[in-house]
Amino acid sequence: MKLPPLNALKAFEATARNGSIAAAANELGVSPAAVSMQVRKFETFLNKTLFLRKNNSILLTDAGRLIYSQMTEALFNIAETTERILNQDVRPGLVISTIQSLSERWLAPIITSFSEAHPEIGIQIRIDTDPVDFVGDRIDLRLTYGDQFYSRGQSTWLFHDQVTPLCAPDFMARHAAGGRLADVPDEKLIRIEWGRSYASYPTWEDWFRRAGSPRTLDHRKGIRVGGAGIAVAFAVRGAGAMLGSRRLASQEIETGLLVAPSDTALAFSQPYRVVLPSDLSGENYGTQAAQAFLDFLMASV
């Protein structure tokens, strides 16, 4: 593409819009001589006269009017697109990094309440895998499972979760001939994939063993999902029974969309934790917004 010099184009646009070189110079923060030089440079580039200069006033020529109408719109489009891109990179007051299961099922109502209490604090929620780069990604606070990745951070215990079978109210009547979970076929057991970094989460085999009905499952059958939120959605629709957290599925349990056909529960091997970064001296450098959210979070827990 053959394009004119950007500074020359900006000088021409400002001069044409303001009606004078002095006004254009004041807007652009340069001297009138610099604006005149850029306008002449633009005229030389196009080999056209763009302004008629009379005394202290200037008028657009026919060529100047055509260029002003066409190129001004292009300049504004470029400026608008640039501003939109730059605004996407503007850092809010609080950047929270979390894992998907917490963000979907537990964190959303807490963030909503915190935002209502602190409307002056802008919040960004990031879904990340461990470990995160607090400095590189400008993260103020991390919510995660365990803290083995953050020995140098300030780690605070949130809660130690456990799972129990959850299903739709009519699920057992339709899929368990003997009325027990041990009678549910393999293809009706929902399995949650917790990600490549984790292997210590409770499984259906673990639960059947605890319940006194050990069995070997066919892992080629059933539904595998990538998070607790998706598992809840399938369980509510009667697609299967899930091993789920009562805490993370509290809304569905309270409204009767899910029931627990057994009281036998399995605890996770590690608690959920909230981590704030620390500097090289070990002192917390979390922002005031991060500390305010941490206080609010612990009060909510």
- pLDDT at residue 57, rounded to an integer: 77
What is the Cα 160 distance to its own chain's centre?
25
pLDDT reading at 181 higher than 60: yes
User: What are the tens digits of pLDDT across the range 95-125?
Assistant: 999 998 888 789 999 999 999 999 999 999 9
- pLDDT at residue 286, rounded to an integer: 58
User: What are the tens digits of pLDDT across the range 205-217?
Assistant: 999 999 999 999 9
Same domain, 287 and 241: no
Same domain, 213 and 166: yes
Q: Could you give the residue ranges of the DSSP H alpha helices within the chain?
A: 6-18, 21-28, 32-46, 62-88, 100-102, 108-117, 171-175, 204-210, 228-236, 250-254, 288-300
Q: How many domains does the chain have?
A: 3
* pLDDT class of 281 with cuts at 50, 70, 90: very low
- pLDDT at residue 31, rounded to an integer: 93
> Over pLDDT 90: what percentage of the chain?
60
CATH number at residue 116: 3.40.190.10
Same domain, 147 and 101: yes
Region 163-177: mean pLDDT is 95
pLDDT reading at 83 higher than 80: no
Task: Report the half-sphere exposure of 282 (CA within 13 A, side-chain side).
Answer: 1
The C-alpha atoms of residue 119 and residue 124 are separated, in whole angstroms, by 13
Same domain, 197 and 146: no
In a domain? residue 173: yes
3-state secondary structure of 281: coil
In a domain? residue 1: no
The C-alpha atoms of residue 234 and residue 189 are separated, in whole angstroms, by 11
Which residue carries 């899929």 as its tokens?
175
Same domain, 168 and 258: yes
Of 27, 57, 88, the residue at which a domain comes to its end is: 88
Region 35-63: mean pLDDT is 89
Q: How much is the pTM?
A: 0.66
Same domain, 134 and 185: no
Rounded to the nearest 5 degrees, what angle is found at the Cα of 265, between the Cα atoms of 261 and 271? 140
Torsion of CA 16, 18, 24, 28, to 10 degrees: -100
- Enter the tokens of residue 60: 């657009």
| Arithmetic mean of pLDDT over the chain | 88
- Enter the tokens of residue 120: 């002056």
* pLDDT class of 58 with cuts at 50, 70, 90: confident
pLDDT reading at 283 higher than 60: no
The boundaries of the domain holding residue 282 are: 94-160+271-300
Same domain, 44 and 61: yes
Which sign does the torsion angle of CA 120, 130, 145, 285 carry? Answer: negative
**291 DSSP 8-state letter:** H
Same domain, 199 and 262: yes
In a domain? residue 153: yes
Same domain, 185 and 260: yes
Q: Which of 186, 190, 180, 259 has its CA nearest to residue 212?
A: 180
288-300 and 108-117 helices, crossing angle to 10°: 120
Same domain, 153 and 176: no
In a domain? residue 22: yes
Same domain, 256 and 169: yes
In a domain? residue 67: yes
